[in-house]
Amino acid sequence: PYMYGLALAGELGVTEVVANVIAELDLTMALSGAADLASITRESVVANPSA
């Protein structure tokens, strides 16, 4: 994703990609009830073997 942002819009594109990744992580953590990164354990991650 970073290279895609760099190719499309240079430094600003990379900044936007990083901001989007952080926003997606924040949303996912909120929806899963994780208060911070330390509260995400191996048990809270579900593997999808068909993916």
Q: pLDDT by residue (tens digit) across 12-45? A: 999 999 999 999 999 999 999 999 999 999 888 8
Per the CB < 8 A criterion, the answer to whether 4 and 17 are in contact is yes
11 within some domain? yes
Candidates 8, 32, 5; CA nearest to 19 is: 5
User: What tokens does 46 get?
Assistant: 């579900």
Residue 25 lies in a domain: yes
Residue 49 belongs to some domain of the structure:
no
Is residue 51 in a domain? no
For the four alpha carbons of 6, 11, 14 and 20, in that order, the dihedral sign comes to negative
Structural domain contains residue 14: yes
Residue 10: which domain range?
2-44
pTM value is 0.76
Domain membership of residue 21 (yes or no) is yes
Within a domain: 15:
yes
Residue 26 included in any domain: yes
> Which residues are CB-contacts of 21 (< 8 A; sequence separation ≥ 6)?
1
Residue 51 has pLDDT above 80, yes or no: no
Residue 35: the pLDDT is 95
